[in-house]
Structure 1
């Protein structure tokens, strides 16, 4: 592991590291840096490490916060660093307003043109209509909007973002309690569970005095089979989007709104058993496992 100062000088770095990564979300590392002989090479010159770059597992992370505490007759610095690409996109903005129907290439060119980064579209996706993109939004905010609307999951390798319909693999290995995992927890949140939703589309915003229900040319409904099991209807907030003109698109949005309203999550402590002769590697982000 290395650390790079603001002048481009690199040093060996020793520290205890915690790496956090979310699917289509943030990626950060937290490191405890003690005043060792190796770390003193740069700490003796500068103890405020903010904006320095940490090189870890082939990626660059920018230090955005640090805390210095006494440790014996020396001191320890706790730093938080975020993936450099995400930090860069979050600190550069698009100021003009964009109202247009955009292909995938046109959309992500808005994010990555005139940046140190690029992207590769692994799986295609149809065009989408956008209103009010930009207007001072960060490139990262716009990037996340496009990821959501085009239904992509992304993987970052070096300075390239790869766009997939789904990352990871359908792995054929298992996680078993007290074998390679423990503390398994399942949580179900039905506080905003819906069984029914309505959608209104294909209308113009010019006529602001007319109710959407009246002016929408596209009106669709979706009812979940779970409604019969629960025994009563739970109505979701309606989808009101004049940009949606095809019933297939509206139906897909309604079904997603209802079917994903029950949040089911699993957490567990997972162990890499490869050193004990286990035949498979541990799962990486995006993998589907048993």
Structure 2
């Protein structure tokens, strides 16, 4: 059996990932993945099941009002969930069933932990706001995971209609580009002189665009994607950071991180809408059936 090095494990990291994963999970997950790969026969699917078991323990701790223990088990569950992907990429043992299992396992973990957190706090305080909190967390997470594949199907439908069109000179559809935007021409002065006759509003938009391109390059150098508040950060805020801070932080942190997550989703939908307007498909009825059926 091949012996893997830590560098081999590092190569399995995603090119860009959430900042929570990059800074708070990957440093641990990579070191856990190394002995798992070299000294065990654990498969990615077995690790996914282990992750789900740990997530269930986390939910039970939340339900019993052991918030710090629940946060610890949730972190372990997510960390193992990262390890299974690394093992799959490292050994080439990933399967389509494994993708489904990982997807469903994540949803079950979030719903169980949201329910456990809501039940534990409601049983302790009788405050119905915690019930609303649990329901809102579950609904937001499910919306995000329903919305993402549907947007992907919209992109695929449009690409099929554009197969004979001239390809993008950058080799990338605008909707797939990083939200902060790429900079294909390299660095440029931040406050370049405004061309004569250019409206001031357009000049301001150009300055903001340059700022976001520079920010995007900075994040890319650190493997951080520009979706700074995605589902992973949302889960971390609700199930790790807030429980460690204490019950007082549950509702404020869940509400603020949920609002940021929803804003991110709305932004992605808006970008998709702009893209579909620029690259409309042939028949609206045919396109709707193709995407939604």
The answer, yes or no, to whether TM exceeds 0.5 is no
Normalized per residue, which structure has more strand? 1
Q: Which of the two has higher C-alpha Rg? A: 1
TM-score (norm 2): 0.21
TM-score (norm 1): 0.21
Relative CO higher for 1 or 2, CA cutoff 8 Å, sep ≥ 6? 2
Normalized per residue, which structure has more helix? 2
